[in-house]
């Protein structure tokens, strides 16, 4: 399970977008011990993504490719956020939606209103300038690009891009 920080709180990761990349990011964080919340505006998409990942890990467990602890970490740490507001207690939120500037910019502006001032807001974009996404934010310096490579749980690498200050 998640390890408490020095201040006694557990780090919570939020993911916006339940597609292939979002599901992989959830698996990576949840299996690393972080309480992880997945939000998607499509009804049932977040639950379906977590169920698909759970089934995939169960198959890998059955084949002896992972141990029980990895599956237990996913099922114990990954949950659905029914509303974007449910990510308010996250210490990092990673947006992994389709490559649409207006949608990404809107999510970043909304997240900035929801999460605490010290929460990192990241995008998994691979084709849009991070500064374009953060252009409408009050504090764009709290945002960054975190481009995960596909498939996320196997590659375990991300390119981190800062915003211009």
CB 143 within 8 A of CB 163: yes
pLDDT for 10: 67
pTM here is 0.90
| DSSP three-state, residue 34 | coil
Q: List Cβ neighbours of 6 (8 Å cut-off, separation of 6 or more).
A: none
Query: CA 102 from chain center: how many Å?
Result: 19
Residue 155: what pLDDT?
66
User: Residue 106: helix, strand or coil by DSSP?
Assistant: helix
Residues in the chain with pLDDT values less than 50: 1-2, 4
Q: What is the length of the chain?
A: 165
Q: Which pLDDT does position 163 carry in this prediction?
A: 72
User: What would the pLDDT profile of 41-82 be if each residue is shown by its tens digit?
Assistant: 999 999 999 999 999 999 999 999 999 999 999 999 999 999
Q: What is the pLDDT of residue 58?
A: 95
Sequence-ordered list of residues with C-beta below 8 angstroms from that of 71, at least 6 positions apart, any chain:
54, 57, 58, 61
């Amino acid at each position: 399970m998640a390890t408490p920080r020095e201040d006694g709180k557990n780090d919570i990761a939020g993911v916006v977008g339940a597609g292939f990349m979002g599901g992989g990011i959830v698996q990576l964080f949840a299996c690393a011990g972080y309480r992880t919340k997945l939000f998607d505006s499509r009804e049932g998409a977040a639950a379906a993504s977590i169920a698909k990942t759970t089934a995939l890990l169960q198959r890998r467990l059955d084949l002896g490719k992972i141990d029980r602890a990895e599956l237990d970490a996913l099922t114990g740490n990954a949950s659905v956020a029914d509303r974007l507001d449910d990510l308010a207690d996250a210490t990092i939120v990673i947006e992994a939606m389709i490559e649409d500037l207006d949608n990404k910019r809107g999510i970043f502006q909304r997240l900035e209103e929801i999460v605490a001032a010290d929460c990192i807001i990241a995008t998994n974009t691979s084709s849009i300038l991070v500064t374009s996404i953060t252009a409408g934010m009050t504090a764009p310096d709290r945002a960054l690009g975190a481009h995960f490579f596909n498939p996320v749980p196997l590659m375990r690498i991300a390119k981190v891009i800062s915003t211009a200050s």
